[in-house]
Amino acid sequence: MLPAIEAHTFNQEVLRSNIPVLVSFWAPWCRVCRWVEPLLHNLQLRSASAFKIVSVNADTNLHLASCYKVINIPSLLLFDRGQLVERIDHFGSQAEAQQLLECALDQIARSQLSTG
């Protein structure tokens, strides 16, 4: 299970993080969320400490979801140094989700190389 954060911890855990953060907005009723979460968990295990992945229950954090204009569940938002740098709002299949996540990982790697 991914670490869950709430609106009151979002600033500290995401925006002030010294490493990139991939935020998964999900909902308990979402079937797609159920097959995206294991992909995210495996991605976190493979990437060690290069970045972290956290989850936000959009149903219980409506203000936060609204603030970031989350209209599709699941939505993945990639933050680096407090800035939203990438978002993934649509998943057609597990293969597509895996490919989109790999692209997000590449973006993180490029970002870390450019900051040295």
Q: Which residue has the tokens 């855990």?
A: 13
Strand, coil or helix: 57? strand
- Cα–Cα distance between 91 and 97 in angstroms, integer? 6
pLDDT at 115: 59
What are 32-55's pLDDT values in tens digits?
888 888 888 888 887 767 788 999
Q: Domains in the chain, start-ordered, CATH in brackets?
A: 7-115 (3.40.30.10)
| Catalytic hit among 14, 21, 22, 33 | 33
pLDDT at 7 over 90: yes
* Residue 48 or residue 14, greater confidence: 14
- In the set 2, 7, 27, 30, the catalytic residue is 30
Query: Mean pLDDT score of the chain, rounded to an integer?
Result: 86
Q: Is 67 a catalytic residue?
A: no
Q: Is 103 a catalytic residue?
A: no
pLDDT at 85: 87
Has residue 116 got a pLDDT over 60?
no
List the single range of 16-20, 35-39, 46-50, 74-78 with lowest mean pLDDT. 46-50
Nearest-angstrom CA–CA distance, 24 and 26: 6
DSSP 64-86: HHHHTT--SSSEEEEEETTEEEE
